[in-house]
Structure 1
Amino acid sequence: MIQVIKGDITKIEVEAIVNAANTSLLGGGGVDGAIHRMGGKSILEECQKIRSKQGGCKVGEAVITTAGKLPAKFVIHTVGPVWNKGGNNEEHLLYSAYSNCLKLAILNNITSISFPNISTGIYKFPKEKAAKIAIKAITDFVEINHNAIKRIIFVCFDDENYTIYSNLLNIEK
């Protein structure tokens, strides 16, 4: 049910991919920029509608749009916290980001989802700490919701995250 792969999240064939977005929802660097570039303008247009309605997306929250030209049906945009030495409730906010993505997935009858390593790039969340929080959020969710989501994939862009997730989940590389 839970997999770890090293690769490009924009190429993964699942019903929903998670975007590590910023609060503006207007695209940015890293995963966010790649998803907007590869998915095309329909993602940005839906993000702009969400912004008009609710003013963006708060840290720890999630919203859903079409996936445009991506192989997925949906993009779930979530905003992870910027790491500030743990002084601003970052661990709880990161846990909430993962949990809220999974809740949106269930509300939209999504049974397969892929996650990037949220907040570990320019937001500087320590990678191992972030991985433990991500895995805890997902295992807690699966424990309560059993088989609602059949396939959950952590898509690691770099070797370091891939090794961390593989080790924490006891998956052979």
Structure 2
Amino acid sequence: MVTSAPAHTVVDSPCGPLTLVARDGALAGLYMHGQRHRPAQESFGPRTRLPVLARVAEQLDAYFAGDLTRFDLDLSLDGTAFQRSVWAGLLTIPYGMTVSYRELAEQLGQPGASRAVGLANGRNPIGIIVPCHRVVGANGSLTGYGGGLDRKRWLLEFERGAQQTVLGDAFA
């Protein structure tokens, strides 16, 4: 199988700059500034304008404008079979809703795998679009988020329709 080299662009958002990475005509990464488990910048390939990245940017703009609640993009999720199953489970969580790590593990048919689900969630390479921010602790508490708990709180409140201020400068 021949794969194309990655390429990236950076777009502004209300929660700071987002690095979008494309590979083989699909979105392979969406990383926030200061994100935990963010790959080395060199792995993103050259900065460029590709149609796939323009489409991602358009859908992110619509999402942050409150006009889009479900993304329609080709995704390239590179991970273990278990990680990919968790990330597929994340895509089923409705906009504005949350589930616990335990609930997600149960949905995956692995009720004892809450911690493993949490670890896979933390390695999600496509934040926001693959909505790992919608997973919370069993008691509803905000726990772990690669982009930081302030961003997680902001995204959840945004999706619930709360008035928002732009956090971009705080996370640049």
Normalising by the residue count of structure 1, what TM-score does the alignment of the two structures yield? 0.30
- Greater helix share, structure number: 1
Normalising by the residue count of structure 2, what TM-score does the alignment of the two structures yield? 0.30
Q: Of the two structures, which has the highest relative contact order with CA contacts closer than 8 Å and spacing of 6 or more? A: 1
User: Rg: which structure is higher?
Assistant: 2
